[in-house]
Structure 1
Amino acid sequence: MEAMVDATDSQMAALADLVASLAAAEATLSSMQAARDGLLALAGRLAVDIAQQAHHPDGADMTIRSVAAEIGAVQRVSDRTVERRMSDASWLVDRFPSVWHAQGEGRISAAHSRVIVDAGAHLDDEADRVDYAAEVIEAAAVESPNRLRRIARRIAEKYQKRTVTERHREAREKRRVWIKDGDDGMAELGMHGSAAVVHGMFDRLSQMAHALKEENVKAAKGTDSVRDERTIDQLRADLLADLVLTGAPTAHDTEDGLLEAIHARVEVTVPASSLMNGETTSSAGRCSPPAELDGTMPLDSWTVRFFAATAGGWDRVFTHPTSGAMLSVDRYRPSEQLRRHLRARDQRCRFPTCGLAARKCDVDHNVAAAAGGATSHENLAAFCRRHHMLKHHSPWHVRQGPGGVLEWTSPTGRIHVDEPPAQNTVTFAEAGTVAAPF
């Protein structure tokens, strides 16, 4: 029996209206996204025009950063994200205007536009881009973005004037590795590189995982030993971690083993009570505060206890028992106390919307030392290199108030206040009950 055979005429009419309304809403959304791209591209052009007036030697890079920071602070979005959006929007609006217009008219979606632009990104001749766009827009009008991807690549290949070898040589310059935080104390490590190398890496990991799996099965037969129940996926992940954390890059290392001597570093903050008692649940049903990696990622108690047992030293962060505010920092073997104090207080870059960990940031004077600024925690803060440069080479200004509160003034005069993040600690109510700092 058909699934909707019992539907009434009025129900089918309501469904038809709903589908039509959703189609109209999607077209409107695509139009609004195209309008946003136009404004972002315009912001990029304005930044370039401003920089060209002053003949800036950095090619407008710092001006674009400043403009992106202005937009991001208002939208509560990272200026890196805004700058990337500005770049993507400029690429769409300037190089593929017909695609942008088609999206603005609601004929194709933003997802279709991304597929078209990505596939034709290497078309340098303007006439080729115009012909390519006209052909692929027709396909986009009747295909989903996923199915359009293969079609767009095939169409783009017809207009390519360079060989795959030439394009691959250029694409290799963009190889990189990145990390993406996940949930439950997990993260992803990604790599963009030569397909032959990446597939070769995966194949070797697979061969090693299968060989280890077979050896474990043989070793467990006829014995009382515990069988290794890890899956091939789990073995691949564990082998990759082992190779990266303990292996030596023989093809790149120096004669004295400089790279081999480098060890991985992470920064973990853990409430003392959690370290002593592990993860516990209070009478109110709330879990005790977990340890955190770089002030953002929760970590399980097993990992924390492992780090605690192997760490050469710990920074102690003393906090107020009721407010949770940081009071001071010391160490059993003190060194660079002021830097540790700032890392513990700031936890991340102190520019609004930026979340780069403090240990990866510069420590900078709010009032320059040359202008009489004191080298103290009242006049220092952690800034990532990007926002450190923005502070010194753009109209952005910062003033530090009591408690490490920073007041940023943007080029247009807007005020953005950034407070030190809450400490990962336990606080106590007056009645003596434990409350998590949420």
Structure 2
Amino acid sequence: MATTSGGDGVGLSPHAGALGAFAEALDAAHTGDVALVRALAEVGRSALRVAHVGGVRGMASDMELRSVAAEAAGLAGRSDRRLQHDIDHAMTIVDDYPAAFAAWETRRITRDHVEVIVKAGMVVPAEVRPAFEEAAIAVCERDIAVRVREPLRALAERMHPREFTDRHRDAAASRCVRVLPGADGMSDLIATLPTVIVAGMLDRLTQMGQSVKDARAAGVDAAAAGAGAGAAFGHGAGAAFGDAAATKRPEEPDARTMDQLRADALADLVLGGAPVVDPTYGTDAPGPLGAIRARVQVVVTANTLTGTDHGPAEAVGTGLIDADTARELAGQTTSWDRLFIDPITRTPVETDTYRPTASMRRLLQARDQHCRFPGCRRAAIRCEIDHTIDYALGGHTHIYNLAHLCQRHHSMKQFTNWNVRQLGGGVLEWTSPGGRIYREDTPFPAVCFTPGIPSTAPPGAHPEPPPHAPPASQPPF
């Protein structure tokens, strides 16, 4: 251990200057973090105070929080959903765990300790929380955050007045599935389910993978064993993997690892399987749910599609996909539309009815790709088409008076003081209640895959072509 001596500096660590600067930076970061959490909590309280004027509750509170979170997100240059989560979390720390917040502010514990306390305390009811908080702070003062997680979890379980069985019944109501986009054309599919279900799923996938390995060792083709990834993709649902059994030649050996086999089997089961019992049909016989096929909106350039280059395509709302997968999809599906847009004139497409035509919907999906609120990336196929100027107020069903908005931001436009106008060319300009202006541009791809829409034309009639499609004699690209 380095030691220090008298005031002449002899014996000081050669890193003293760097460590001193680091300590000063830690002090500044601590002060800033505390101030930021307090400020975020106050933003949330301000929204609630405004929404509760006159005794208003419910939807008004949520809309006011959405609105103020959106404006704060503009200041921070972040997603408004993430900013609202940070506001909620800050209010939880400051209002629900005041002792832990005070201990952090006075540096008795760290921010990491606070996060561990809040996470462990999620299972503790409000009436027990103060006692849990004081006991948790005492534990945190004795060790670093990573070492107190399990002790605090055990402490919360001991202090909870309800039986574990009753709490699990409530927790099961929060089961969900979500996607986290990753790098290199990959994403994480996360399912939050009861532990026994998850354990059973993993066991079944492992057994399937082991069966394929056993069949492989016995000289049986893995695809014939029924666990080759891509079987469901033949139904127009998904993508192709470079090492998947569906894309390998019969003479090529199946060298997939157990992890790959489990992942491929899971993909097949989700994309091509059916529920054991279909509640829409009432029995365990094949029903409507088993007939549903996955739908993915893919945006790809003409050059990538034809093989001129190998740039990535985009699975809208999820992430990038490789060129081989995009071309594989184009070759397998029978329900894709080629959209050709004049890059110079951007000729308007309009209808006199309230609802846009099928061709307009396809065009808007290609143009918008996602929700058009600044920072939101909810896929267009999961959004609603909004009239920027309300149809009831004279707004036309015109390609430049329409834009995709997710339910969250569609409601916020309708019920708060956020305003939007279209500047032309698909560019939207949003004005916050505080007067700040945000411009939302969007690229206009040349080619887009969209879900097939059954024709409603009578027999013998020619179906409506996509807008700006080239004449039949003109080459497609």
TM-score with structure 2 length normalisation?
Answer: 0.78
> 1:269 touches 1:295 (CA, 8 Å); kept in 2?
no
- What is the Cα deviation at residue 396 of structure 1? 0.7
Deviation per residue, 1:248-271 (Å, 9 max, x gap): 112234327111111001011222
Which residues in structure 2 correspond to 1:349-364 (within 5 Å)? 349-364=371-386
Could you list the structure 1 runs, at least 4 aligned residues long, displaced by more than 4 angstroms after superposition.
9-12, 325-329
The one-letter amino acid of 1:182's match is G
Deviation per residue, 1:236-285 (Å, 9 max, x gap): 0000000000111122343271111110010112222222226x4xxxxx
- SS of equivalent residue, structure 1 residue 406: strand
Structure 2 Cα separation of the partners of residues 100 and 421 of structure 1: 45
Tell me whether 1:96 sits opposite 2:110 in the alignment.
no
Deviation per residue, 1:12-70 (Å, 9 max, x gap): 71335544543453354234222212111111111111111141442611111111111
Alignment RMSD, CA only? 2.7
**Equivalent residue in structure 2 for 1:247, among 273, 296, 299:** 273
- What is the Cα deviation at residue 292 of structure 1? 1.8
- SS of equivalent residue, structure 2 residue 404: strand
TM-score with structure 1 length normalisation?
Answer: 0.84
Aligned to 2:440: 418
The one-letter amino acid of 1:276's match is T
Aligned to 1:430: none
The one-letter amino acid of 1:120's match is G
Q: 1:50 to 1:139 in 2, by over 3 A?
A: same
- SS of equivalent residue, structure 1 residue 179: strand
Aligned to 2:118: 117
- What is the Cα deviation at residue 144 of structure 1? 2.7
- What is the Cα deviation at residue 327 of structure 1? 6.7
- What is the Cα deviation at residue 177 of structure 1? 0.5
Structure 1 Cα separation of the partners of residues 317 and 272 of structure 2: 26
User: Which shifted more, 22-31 or 407-416?
Assistant: 22-31
Structure 1 Cα separation of the partners of residues 39 and 391 of structure 2: 40
- What is the Cα deviation at residue 401 of structure 1? 1.3
Structure 2 Cα separation of the partners of residues 83 and 252 of structure 1: 37
User: Which shifted more, 148-157 or 48-57?
Assistant: 48-57
Deviation per residue, 1:330-361 (Å, 9 max, x gap): xxxxx711111111111111111111111211
Structure 2 Cα separation of the partners of residues 359 and 205 of structure 1: 31
Aligned to 2:304: 274
Structure 2 Cα separation of the partners of residues 163 and 400 of structure 1: 56
Structure 2 Cα separation of the partners of residues 83 and 108 of structure 1: 26
**Equivalent residue in structure 2 for 1:406, among 428, 436, 446:** 428
The one-letter amino acid of 2:293's match is H
Aligned to 1:339: 361
Q: 1:59 to 1:172 in 2, by over 3 A?
A: farther
The one-letter amino acid of 1:111's match is D
Q: 1:328 to 1:380 in 2, by over 3 A?
A: closer
Structure 2 Cα separation of the partners of residues 147 and 196 of structure 1: 27
Structure 2 Cα separation of the partners of residues 326 and 178 of structure 1: 37
Q: 1:399 to 1:119 in 2, by over 3 A?
A: same
Aligned to 2:75: 74
Deviation per residue, 1:189-219 (Å, 9 max, x gap): 0011111111111111111111211121112
Structure 1 Cα separation of the partners of residues 362 and 177 of structure 2: 28
Aligned to 1:391: 413
Structure 2 Cα separation of the partners of residues 416 and 175 of structure 1: 36
Structure 2 Cα separation of the partners of residues 225 and 345 of structure 1: 43
- What is the Cα deviation at residue 422 of structure 1? 5.3
Aligned to 1:233: 259
Structure 1 Cα separation of the partners of residues 337 and 97 of structure 2: 54
Q: 1:401 to 1:225 in 2, by over 3 A?
A: closer
Tell me whether 1:133 sits opposite 2:123 in the alignment.
no
- SS of equivalent residue, structure 2 residue 122: coil
Aligned to 1:313: 335
> 1:328 touches 1:341 (CA, 8 Å); kept in 2?
no
Aligned to 1:106: 107
> 2:67 touches 2:412 (CA, 8 Å); kept in 1?
yes
Q: 1:174 to 1:12 in 2, by over 3 A?
A: farther
Aligned to 2:290: 260
**Structure 2 gaps, min length 5:** 2-8, 222-249, 350-356, 448-477
Aligned to 1:208: 208
> 1:346 touches 1:358 (CA, 8 Å); kept in 2?
yes
Paired-residue identity, % = 39
The one-letter amino acid of 2:299's match is T
- SS of equivalent residue, structure 1 residue 316: coil
Aligned length: 401
Aligned to 1:431: none
Structure 2 Cα separation of the partners of residues 328 and 410 of structure 1: 28
Aligned to 2:401: 379
Structure 2 Cα separation of the partners of residues 217 and 34 of structure 1: 60
- What is the Cα deviation at residue 328 of structure 1? 8.3
Deviation per residue, 1:121-172 (Å, 9 max, x gap): 222244x323322222233234232211111112222321111112111211
- SS of equivalent residue, structure 2 residue 256: coil
> 1:396 touches 1:408 (CA, 8 Å); kept in 2?
yes
- What is the Cα deviation at residue 392 of structure 1? 0.4
Structure 1 Cα separation of the partners of residues 439 and 10 of structure 2: 55
- What is the Cα deviation at residue 297 of structure 1? 2.6
User: Which shifted more, 386-395 or 225-234?
Assistant: 225-234
The one-letter amino acid of 1:271's match is T
**Structure 1 gaps, min length 5:** 3-8, 281-287, 330-334, 426-438
- What is the Cα deviation at residue 305 of structure 1? 2.1
The one-letter amino acid of 1:338's match is M
Q: 1:155 to 1:385 in 2, by over 3 A?
A: same
Aligned to 1:170: 170
Aligned to 1:38: 38
- SS of equivalent residue, structure 2 residue 398: coil
Structure 2 Cα separation of the partners of residues 145 and 229 of structure 1: 42
Q: 1:319 to 1:227 in 2, by over 3 A?
A: same
- What is the Cα deviation at residue 75 of structure 1? 1.4
Q: 1:308 to 1:225 in 2, by over 3 A?
A: closer
The one-letter amino acid of 1:172's match is A
The one-letter amino acid of 2:25's match is A
**Equivalent residue in structure 1 for 2:387, among 365, 374, 380:** 365
Deviation per residue, 1:67-106 (Å, 9 max, x gap): 1111112212111111111111111111111111222223
